[in-house]
Homo-oligomer: A and B are copies of this chain.
């Protein structure tokens, strides 16, 4: 029986396949056993958990294109990146996403003898939730906002307010996977906390506009204000019906005016109230004319008027900035009513039907639940996965996104390769990605590697080239082949 050495924990390279890595002893037999167990369990096909994804180089290149675009625009506006751990204490996560949300949290089983605190005699009467609470202390983050709130409170003494942070990390939800809904997906959030100024709203809309302009996606940006919705509820004397009203209004596109009205009636609104709501539900025209109608309708609601003026300020400021995309006041927009307290926004692609691809708003109590009340914030979140789908559908990725090497040296054997290594080094110093085909196999195989990897140039360096110090450079798309110096090659490839 072979025995194995201890391994240093980090950063040892750990390709653990042949046998295993470190810590303990392991025999060849045991290894074969593991292979058999694995094969039996997987019927020869390795797989990943449902709702999760691998990203191949091509997919990564496209995703990075989206992330880099968002990241660079965030940076342009002074937002700075943070990261938080994948695992949070369940006490941080529980109760923040509602009862259903709690069920969608992925919980991490405690290490070691995780059952030692569980009274076995009570087990048969215990709910899965209660038992889970006793054997799991940690969970995977469900969004970036609760961890951000926890971060702000935990680091409040180091942070300079107003604090502008962005965060691009995966989140996990034990939702039923379906088309476009994954159990692991990325969120790309930016938030400003510690400032009440509407300037933040203006700049966030500029960011949204710039990102989609750079991606080439035509969008409609819709804004509304939670205070307007509160005002509406006030003037019809149904402050407790605000959710019912906005939910009904939100359905206008889908079910039509008549059904909205009957839904309002069945939620207990009086005929007078529904009558009062009509100009609001059917509001149309320019932002200015909408605002002016709403000023009249909401004349008696202080909160409502405040909401109008907030929207007016943001819309006016944006008008002067000549955005690429249109920003519309849309009173049917009622997202996240439960936590947003001021402006709310949502973005939809004009050329693809896919729902909201970005959203956000102002909230007045981000950190209250962690014991730090009174901190206002406003933020946006880009839906990277949906943006990915939109770019795919519209075929809007720039060509270079493939991000393969620009040049492949054909391998003619040891002698030639030794020379190629030096040429390759020289060309890489010019910032050009270069590969040398590692094995000296048939030329045809090497050429087909270049072509199916999307490498645009191939260099052939044989005896003649070594003698002259040149290289034969073949353009894979035109088929043209020329003898050039290294400097010429660099300039041709860089074009």
Give CA–CA (A146, B34) in the complex, Å.
14
A350 interfacial by beta-carbon distance below 8 Å? no
Given contacts A13-B380, A341-B18, contact A109 B80 (CB under 8 A): no
Q: Which residues of B contact A12 (CB under 8 A)?
A: 335-336, 356, 359, 381
Given contacts A13-B379, A23-B100, A184-B87, contact A434 B108 (CB under 8 A): no
Copies of this protein, total: 2
Whole-angstrom distance between the Cβ of A211 and the nearest chain B Cβ: 13
Whole-angstrom distance between the Cβ of A474 and the nearest chain B Cβ: 17
Q: Which residues of B contact A151 (CB under 8 A)?
A: 54
Of the listed residues A195, A422, A438, the one surrounded by the most CB atoms of chain B closer than 10 A to its CB is: A438
14 A-B pairs with C-beta separation under 8 A: A5-B246, A10-B180, A11-B383, A20-B98, A34-B94, A39-B371, A52-B87, A80-B403, A85-B184, A104-B111, A112-B128, A199-B417, A320-B418, A321-B422
Whole-angstrom distance between the Cβ of A176 and the nearest chain B Cβ: 10
Stretch binding the partner chain, chosen from A185-193, A257-265, A297-305: A185-193
CB contacts under 8 Å to B, within A150-174, are 150-151, 153-155, 158, 160, 162, 164-165, 170, 172-174
Q: Which residues of B contact A113 (CB under 8 A)?
A: 128
Beta-carbon contact of A120 and B115 below 8 Å: no
Beta-carbon contact of B200 and A438 below 8 Å: yes
A355 interfacial by beta-carbon distance below 8 Å? yes
Beta-carbon contact of B338 and A5 below 8 Å: yes
User: Given A4-B337, A5-B246, A56-B158, 20 more contacts at CB 8 Å?
Assistant: A10-B185, A11-B357, A11-B359, A12-B336, A13-B359, A14-B143, A14-B381, A20-B98, A21-B101, A22-B97, A25-B98, A48-B89, A48-B150, A60-B82, A109-B109, A160-B452, A162-B438, A199-B411, A199-B438, A320-B422
A361 interfacial by beta-carbon distance below 8 Å? yes
Give CA–CA (A411, B199) in the complex, Å.
10
- Contact partner of A386 among B10, B108, B334, CB < 8 A? B10
How many interface residues does chain A have, given as a range? 35 or more
Beta-carbon contact of B243 and A377 below 8 Å: no
A288 interfacial by beta-carbon distance below 8 Å? no
CB contacts under 8 Å to B, within A267-284, are none
- Contact partner of A365 among B3, B18, B57, B164, CB < 8 A? B18
Stretch binding the partner chain, chosen from A132-140, A325-333, A392-400, A476-484: A132-140
Give CA–CA (A199, B174) in the complex, Å.
45
Chain B residue nearest to A371 (CB atoms) is B44
Beta-carbon contact of B203 and A436 below 8 Å: yes
Whole-angstrom distance between the Cβ of A220 and the nearest chain B Cβ: 16
Beta-carbon contact of B128 and A18 below 8 Å: no
Whole-angstrom distance between the Cβ of A144 and the nearest chain B Cβ: 8
Give CA–CA (A287, B99) in the complex, Å.
66
CB contacts under 8 Å to B, within A284-334, are 317, 320-321, 334
Nearest 3 CB-CB pairs, A to B?
A11-B383, A23-B100, A57-B80
Q: Which residues of B contact A140 (CB under 8 A)?
A: 86, 108
Given contacts A15-B377, A48-B89, A99-B24, contact A128 B114 (CB under 8 A): yes
A75 interfacial by beta-carbon distance below 8 Å? yes
A95 interfacial by beta-carbon distance below 8 Å? yes
Chain B residue nearest to A436 (CB atoms) is B199
Beta-carbon contact of A109 and B137 below 8 Å: no
Given contacts A38-B369, A417-B199, contact A97 B16 (CB under 8 A): yes
- Contact partner of A339 among B21, B99, B243, B405, CB < 8 A? B21
Beta-carbon contact of B131 and A115 below 8 Å: yes
Give CA–CA (A103, B113) in the complex, Å.
11
